[in-house]
């Protein structure tokens, strides 16, 4: 038993750190440091920087111009991305669609679509949830009916993250009503500029715009945009979830957030002393930190198993639950640390070039908004209740 | 023992509730809360016509209430409708002025809703305690910076705290007096707050014991905020139960899933605990000394904990829809959570309550 990274892995970490800190634009890192919103250009620029180095596809095999890194290297890379205040890699094309294409797509599909993900030609979004199909995703109704060499797609997707930036969407669609609901689902790639597609913004409780409704009215999709076999889409969607285990807990981001929170708690005062010396706040912080330390080791144990070629079981679901709870507790404590200023709401103060008055500590401007926004992390990607169902189904086997 | 409110209080609660159901739809509330003023002037006056402000003051001041249970009933009813109009500000300012022999004219205007007075006490470094005020007064001229002053834009007067030769005093200030700068902004829960800079501003000293009055008034404030939170929780409870009854997944109503049944049951019992905390605090409000302070801290720490539980569980049980601006839950949840950021959060009141163990 040895919980330490190997010397080679530590060298890799140094190399990654050196590179990231040398290339990350100061303005971009400042936005991440201060929780400011990112523009589409910000995200694209960062992708381009990583792509130039050949590190954008950190989880892809070299065969497709990925890094070919092992899962532990990928974990270290994520750690360092967060530590450097780098933006998160937009996952839809790189981490959600790509593994499905590699596993179930044709060679032509891989040859055409994967390079476009890398060079930024396509921005993908994910069309899974529907108004009547959230946790019960398999009950989705958006239909795709074959008409010659096209599918005709009708229906509505919802909670579609960053659809406003996307030119492509990968959709779960219903191609059959026979058998169990899971058996009639197909996986279809759709051009967002097709006639009959409408994107409607959904404003979230923090006042932001990340998610959307996407409506399909008689949208014609070439049949070559089907991934894998017709009516097997559910298998592909499930494959995706179980292979998200590498980074689903977002350990690196939580470690960075914890460090920021401690820095804040050393400065903010309660009862005339630093917040970090307040026994109640310190107890909350300690419980959170220990949870995070434990999670990191849990995650590394899972990765170590994966390196040995173990088939993924319920680990993704476990890590998703723990990771989301830690993320939400970090945001809760940051909100609490803001004290009376936790109520401040000045989105204008987060914009580029704002030169208005400073009011209260800056982190307070985003503390509560972030707390409310991240209530989503225990809801999206299969709510934590669904994850618990998966765990008991796989382990208790009732 | 009798845990029913008096008939008068029940009638007042019904009246406010009916007005809200008929005239205070959430869509309009959200628009008003996000407007430049942060509330609706029209509704402000209508709530006063209903007598909400009269219920907060005793007959001595031409009111018809002023007891802890009056405050609890009014603010619970307002909370149910997520009322954003700053009636809380009138309670605080009016209660302070009610201790003074002078200024009964302004107090009457406050009760009628014809004047608004903001409470400019807390400062950036003062935290929840408010006990190290650095704003200074000398010869009736005040200089300093006040933070997070609720709904300060457009008020007629301010009540400002300042120390004069190390003694804390309260001053009545004309909001348009020379030397005042009000810089206002939105708050997360809708409505507005402001940073106020005072530079040699002329104020009229209130001839009261400022320290004592602040303890008394802020105690009423804690009860009012807690009661508002209870009203919000009651509404969230209704929304969540309705959602569990109507939304189906996997061919079943959500409410049929035991995992959710147990969670909603926990929410329901915690809300009852919160109601009991408010009854205890309302009863103790007329006392003085440790018992009153302990009871108020017990109430606010309960509200802090239960409020967070109710807000988070309700959003989680609703799923995505609970995250949207369009649906009312999020607005209720935001106000509920933000109440923990006013007059001391859960931790602050746990510490305060436990500080009495050794005394």
- B338 pLDDT tier (thresholds 50, 70, 90): very high
What percent of chain B has pLDDT above 90? 95
Do B132 and B61 share a structural domain?
A: no
Smallest Cβ–Cβ distance between B324 and the set A135, A205, A371 belongs to A205
Do B251 and B149 share a structural domain?
A: no
pLDDT for res B1: 87
Cβ–Cβ below 8 Å for B341 and A338: yes
d(CA A373, CA A365): 13
Q: Answer whether residue B125 is part of any domain.
A: yes
Average pLDDT estimate for B59-80: 96
By C-alpha distance, the chain B residue nearest A279 is B351
Q: Which residues of B touch A339 (CB under 8 A)?
A: 127-128, 341, 345
Average pLDDT estimate for B287-294: 94
Do B319 and B217 share a structural domain?
A: yes
A124-231: which CATH architecture? Answer: Beta Barrel (2.40)
pTM higher than the cut 0.80: yes
As a whole number of Å, the CA-based R_g of chain A is 22
pLDDT for res A272: 83
Question: Which of B30, B126, B127 is the best residue to mutate to test the A interface, defined by the most A CB atoms within 10 Å of its own CB?
Answer: B127
Do B324 and B260 share a structural domain?
A: yes
d(CA B329, CA B343): 24
Do B238 and B326 share a structural domain?
A: yes
- B304 pLDDT tier (thresholds 50, 70, 90): very high
CATH number listed for the domain at residues A248-395: 1.20.140.10
Cβ–Cβ below 8 Å for B316 and A204: no
Q: Which residues of B touch A280 (CB under 8 A)?
A: 347, 350-351
Q: Which residues of B touch A384 (CB under 8 A)?
A: 316
Q: Answer whether residue B64 is part of any domain.
A: yes
By C-alpha distance, the chain B residue nearest A358 is B195
Question: Which of A132, A205, A265 is the best residue to mutate to test the B interface, defined by the most B CB atoms within 10 Å of its own CB?
Answer: A205
Domain ranges of chain A: 7-89, 124-231, 248-395
Do B155 and B76 share a structural domain?
A: no
Other beta carbons within 10 Å of B43: 20
Q: Answer whether residue B341 is part of any domain.
A: yes
Smallest Cβ–Cβ distance between B249 and the set A134, A158, A345 belongs to A134
Q: Answer whether residue B230 is part of any domain.
A: yes
At residue B185, the 3 state secondary structure works out as: strand
By C-alpha distance, the chain B residue nearest A333 is B347
CATH number where B183 lies: 2.40.110.10
Smallest Cβ–Cβ distance between A360 and the set B124, B249, B322 belongs to B124
The pLDDT tens digits of the residues spanning B165-205 come to: 999 999 999 999 999 999 999 999 999 999 999 999 999 99
Q: Answer whether residue B1 is part of any domain.
A: no
Do B87 and B186 share a structural domain?
A: no
pLDDT for res B288: 87
pLDDT for res A248: 87
Output the 3-class SS for chain A.
CCCCCCHHHHHHHHHHHHHHHHHCCHHHHHHHHCCCCCCHHHHHHHHHHHHHHCCCCCCCCHHHCCCCCCHHHHHHHHHHHHHCCCCCCCHHHHHHHHHHHHHHCCHHHHHHHHHHHHHCCCCEEEECCECCECCCHHHCCCEEEEECCEEEEEEEECCCCCHHHCCEEEEEEECCCCCCHHHHEEEEEEECCCCCEEEEEECECCCCCCEEEEEEEEEEEEHHHEECCCCCHHHHHHHHHHHHHHCCCCHHHHHHHHHHHHHHHHHCEECCEEHHHCHHHHHHHHHHHHHHHHHHHHHHHHHHHHHCCCCCCCHHHHHHHHHHHHHHHHHHHHHHHCHHHHHEECHHHHCCCCCCCCCCCCCHHHHHHHHHHHHHHHCCCCCHHHHHHHHHHHHCCC
Q: Which residues pair with B158 in a beta bridge?
A: B118, B173
Q: Which residues of B touch A344 (CB under 8 A)?
A: 148, 185, 187-188, 193
Domain boundary among B170, B185, B208: B208
Question: Which of A134, A340, A361 is the best residue to mutate to test the B interface, defined by the most B CB atoms within 10 Å of its own CB?
Answer: A340
Smallest Cβ–Cβ distance between A346 and the set B185, B189, B341 belongs to B185
pLDDT for res B131: 85
Q: Answer whether residue B2 is part of any domain.
A: no
Q: Answer whether residue B240 is part of any domain.
A: yes
Task: Give the Å distances, CA to CA, from B182 to B134, B140, B151.
Answer: 18, 20, 10
What is the four-CA torsion angle of B92, B93, B97, B102, rounded to 10 degrees?
A: -170
CA torsion sign, A156 to A157 to A163 to A167?
A: negative
Q: Which residues of B touch A380 (CB under 8 A)?
A: 320
Q: Which residues of B touch A204 (CB under 8 A)?
A: 323-325, 330
Do B319 and B237 share a structural domain?
A: yes
Structure tokens of B77?
């009813």
Smallest Cβ–Cβ distance between B316 and the set A159, A338, A378 belongs to A378
pLDDT for res A53: 98
Number of Cβ pairs < 8 A linking chain A and chain B: 138
Smallest Cβ–Cβ distance between B127 and the set A211, A270, A375 belongs to A270
By C-alpha distance, the chain A residue nearest B316 is A379
By C-alpha distance, the chain A residue nearest B195 is A359
By C-alpha distance, the chain A residue nearest B322 is A205
Number of domains in chain B: 3
Cβ–Cβ below 8 Å for A379 and B350: no
Domain hosting residue B77, numbered range: 7-112
Q: Which residues of B touch A139 (CB under 8 A)?
A: 249-250
Same fold? A7-89, A124-231: no
How many residues are there in chain A? 398
Do B348 and B246 share a structural domain?
A: yes
A7-89: which CATH architecture? Answer: Orthogonal Bundle (1.10)
Cβ–Cβ below 8 Å for A136 and B186: no
pLDDT > 90? residue B359: no
Do B220 and B325 share a structural domain?
A: yes
What are the pLDDT tens digits along chain A (398 aa)? 888 999 999 999 999 999 999 999 999 999 999 999 999 999 999 999 999 999 999 999 999 999 999 999 999 999 999 999 999 999 999 999 999 999 999 999 999 999 999 999 999 999 999 999 999 999 999 999 999 999 999 999 999 999 999 999 999 999 999 999 999 999 999 999 999 999 999 999 999 999 999 999 999 999 999 999 999 999 999 888 777 767 789 999 999 999 999 999 999 988 789 999 999 999 999 999 999 999 999 999 999 888 888 777 788 899 999 999 999 999 999 999 999 999 999 999 998 888 888 899 999 999 999 999 999 999 999 999 999 999 999 888 76
Do B229 and B341 share a structural domain?
A: yes
Domain boundary among B186, B208, B230: B208
Do B330 and B220 share a structural domain?
A: yes
Domain boundary among B82, B112, B142: B112
């Amino acid at each position: 038993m040895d919980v330490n990274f190997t010397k080679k892995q530590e060298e890799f970490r140094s190399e990654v750190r050196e590179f990231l800190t040398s290339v990350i634009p100061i303005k971009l890192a400042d936005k991440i440091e201060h929780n400011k919103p990112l523009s589409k250009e910000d995200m694209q620029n960062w992708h381009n920087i990583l792509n130039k180095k050949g590190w954008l596809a950190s989880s892809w095999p070299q065969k497709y111009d990925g890094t070919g890194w092992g899962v532990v290297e990928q974990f270290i890379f994520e750690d360092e991305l967060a530590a450097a205040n780098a933006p998160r890699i937009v996952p839809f094309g790189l981490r959600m669609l790509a593994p499905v294409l590699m596993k179930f797509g044709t060679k032509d599909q891989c040859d055409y679509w994967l390079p476009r993900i890398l060079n930024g030609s396509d921005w993908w979004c994910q069309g899974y949830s529907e108004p009547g199909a959230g946790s019960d995703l398999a009950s989705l109704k958006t239909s795709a009916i074959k008409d010659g060499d096209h599918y005709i797609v009708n229906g509505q997707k919802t909670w579609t993250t960053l659809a406003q930036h996307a030119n492509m969407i990968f959709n779960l669609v219903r191609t059959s009503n026979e058998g169990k609901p899971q058996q009639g689902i197909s996986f279809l790639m759709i051009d967002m500029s097709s006639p009959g597609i409408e994107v409607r913004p959904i404003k979230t409780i923090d006042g932001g715009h990340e998610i959307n409704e996407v409506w399909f009215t008689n949208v014609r999709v070439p049949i070559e945009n089907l991934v894998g076999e017709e009516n097997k889409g559910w298998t592909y969607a499930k494959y995706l979830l179980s292979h998200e285990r590498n980074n689903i807990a977002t350990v690196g981001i939580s470690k960075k957030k914890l460090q920021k929170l401690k820095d804040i708690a050393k400065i903010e005062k309660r009862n005339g002393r630093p917040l970090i010396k307040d026994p109640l706040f310190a107890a909350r912080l300690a419980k959170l930190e220990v949870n995070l330390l434990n999670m990191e080791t849990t995650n590394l144990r899972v990765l170590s198993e994966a390196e040995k070629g173990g088939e993924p079981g319920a680990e993704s679901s476990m890590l998703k639950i723990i990771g989301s709870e830690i993320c939400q507790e970090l945001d809760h404590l940051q909100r609490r640390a803001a004290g009376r200023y936790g109520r401040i709401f000045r989105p204008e103060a987060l914009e580029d070039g704002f030169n208005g008055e400073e009011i209260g500590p800056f982190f307070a401007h985003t503390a509560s908004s972030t707390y409310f926004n991240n209530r989503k992390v225990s809801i999206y990607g299969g709510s934590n209740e669904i994850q618990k169902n998966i765990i008991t189904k796989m382990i208790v086997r009732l | 023992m009798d845990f029913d409110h008096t008939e008068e209080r029940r009638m007042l609660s019904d009246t406010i509730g009916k007005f809200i159901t008929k005239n205070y739809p959430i869509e309009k509330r959200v628009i008003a809360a996000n407007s430049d003023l942060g509330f609706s002037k029209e509704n402000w006056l209508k709530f006063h016509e209903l007598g909400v402000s009269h219920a907060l003051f005793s007959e001595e001041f031409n009111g018809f209430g002023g007891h802890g249970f009056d405050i609890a009933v009014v603010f619970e009813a307002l909370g149910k409708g997520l009322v954003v109009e700053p009636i809380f500000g009138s309670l605080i300012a009016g209660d302070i002025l009610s201790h003074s022999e002078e200024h009964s004219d302004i107090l009457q205007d406050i009760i009628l809703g014809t004047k608004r007075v903001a409470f400019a006490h807390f400062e950036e470094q003062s935290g929840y305690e408010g006990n190290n005020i650095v704003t200074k007064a000398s010869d009736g001229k005040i200089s300093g910076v006040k933070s997070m002053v609720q709904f300060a834009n457009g008020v007629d007067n301010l009540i400002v705290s300042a120390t004069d030769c190390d003694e804390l005093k309260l001053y009545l200030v004309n909001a348009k007096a020379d030397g005042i700068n009000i810089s206002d902004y939105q708050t997360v829960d809708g409505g507005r707050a402001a940073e106020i800079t005072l530079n040699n501003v002329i104020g009229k000293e209130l001839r009261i014991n400022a320290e004592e009055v602040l303890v008394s008034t802020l105690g009423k404030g804690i009860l009012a905020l807690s009661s508002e939170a209870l009203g919000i929780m009651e509404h969230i409870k209704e929304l969540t139960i309705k959602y569990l009854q109507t939304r189906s997944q996997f061919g079943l109503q959500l409410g049929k899933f035991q995992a959710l049944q147990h969670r909603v049951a926990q929410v329901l019992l915690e809300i009852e605990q919160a109601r009991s905390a408010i009854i205890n605090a309302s009863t103790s409000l007329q006392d003085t000394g440790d018992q009153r302070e302990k009871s108020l801290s017990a109430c606010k720490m309960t509200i802090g904990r239960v409020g967070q539980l109710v807000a988070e569980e309700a959003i989680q049980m609703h799923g995505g829809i609970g995250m949207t601006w369009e649906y009312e839950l999020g607005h209720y949840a935001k106000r509920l959570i933000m109440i923990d950021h006013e007059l001391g959060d859960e931790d602050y009141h746990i510490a305060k309550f436990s500080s009495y163990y050794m005394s």
